Structure 1
Amino acid sequence: MIDIRDAYRRALDGFGDRLHLVRPGQWDLPTPCVDWDVRGLVNHLVTENLWAPELLSGRTAAEVGDAFEGDVLGDDPVKAFEASAQGAVQAVYAEGALTSVAHLSFGDVPGEEYITELFADALIHTWDLARAVGGPERLDPDLVASCAEWFAKAWDGYREAGVIGDERDVPAGADQQTRLLAAWGRTP
């Protein structure tokens, strides 16, 4: 498996590449995440990026409070994403990030697990964004393989928590990206 910090950085880079393709009239287009249009999806990822430095430094959700509630994109969603991604990447490479304890809403997890969850979310949402705006949907195969390996063990927990859609059927012989997206409830 790839160093999870590198995988996360590369997933954010891929998301950023697709984000630069969003045209002015596309921000309210629906995405495969039924609760979010393009702007909502980008807002979600920026919010996650903003939380990363806080949680990897040991702060709790209660300590951070509602600092990242609502629209965190402002007038320039691309700039907001780039700034948040830079801060998140710095946080995951900070000394002790992998062994820190992240105090998440559902409990405490090791920093490495939290970073893995951030990576997986960024990777899957890269496809969501590409699908919504007509961008390139092919994800980095090394990142797909790393995510698939981790998600095979994490799937039950995600299913029980109700944070992924129903698993989709895939044709026999489907490639790894198609199988991964289907496991996350996407219809590639």
Structure 2
Amino acid sequence: MIIDIREAYRRALDDFGALVHRIAPEQWENATPCVDWDVHALVNHVVGESLWVPELLAGRTVAELGDTYDGDLLGDDPRKAFDAAASAAVHAASAEGSLTCVTHLSFGDVPGEEYITELFADALIHTWDLARAIGADDRLDPELVETCADWFAGAEDGYRQAGVIGEQQPLPPDPDPQTRLLASWGRRT
């Protein structure tokens, strides 16, 4: 069953946020499956993406925003920073017209639905990354995995050509849907 992409995005951010609230003080420097990112950098990335959402869905351009969301966005309370950014992103993505608006991304203009789908997929995959980094249960919501896999089957080649995902990883015999999805994103399970 494929769910509404706005609901999928909200649920993926909720799952990521639940893990953010479990990060122990000594875990912020833990390595993640994302090359060159520790836990702090990974959470900062998701916060940064979330801060862009209301702006881009409102029609602003990357050029207009410039470096507004560069640097450390977590401050002295990373959990609060995440919660505020995620709440604003979900609110903007759920607003009337969010699926049909034109979003001006760095690589071109896309419908809001495509942008929200990309955000959802990124949040879902990074939920697994964060879980692995802090030693939490890394099983993703099967319904979200299915939704992401259905979309990513048509987007994978473009992502790989753009260099924003790693190489396809080898699969074990008879992989489950989550393992298959993660391998397509370049993750070794």
Amino acid at match of 2:62: A
CA distance in 2, matches of 1:177, 1:9: 19
In structure 1, runs of 5+ residues without a counterpart are none
The residue number in structure 2 matching 1:122 is: 123
The residue number in structure 1 matching 2:51 is: 50
The residue number in structure 1 matching 2:108 is: 107
TM-score when normalising by structure 1: 0.99
CA distance in 2, matches of 1:112, 1:71: 28
Q: Does 1:67 align with 2:68?
A: yes
Q: Does 1:77 align with 2:78?
A: yes
In structure 2, runs of 5+ residues without a counterpart are none
Deviating 4+ runs (over 3 angstroms)? none
TM alignment of 1:1-188, pairs within 5 A: 1-188=2-189
CA distance in 1, matches of 2:94, 2:27: 33
TM-score when normalising by structure 2: 0.98
CA distance in 2, matches of 1:153, 1:179: 15
CA distance in 2, matches of 1:106, 1:112: 16
* Partner secondary structure for residue 143 of structure 1: helix
* Partner secondary structure for residue 9 of structure 1: helix
| C-alpha RMSD of the superposition | 0.6
Matched residues, percent identical?
68
Amino acid at match of 1:149: D
Shift of 1:35: 2.0
* Partner secondary structure for residue 109 of structure 1: strand
After superposition, the C-alpha distances for 1:107-128 in whole angstroms (9 at most, x for unaligned) are 1110000000000000000000
CA distance in 2, matches of 1:167, 1:110: 27
Q: May I ask how many residue pairs the two structures share in their alignment? A: 188
Contact 1:18 1:136 in 2 (8 A): no
CA distance in 2, matches of 1:65, 1:13: 28
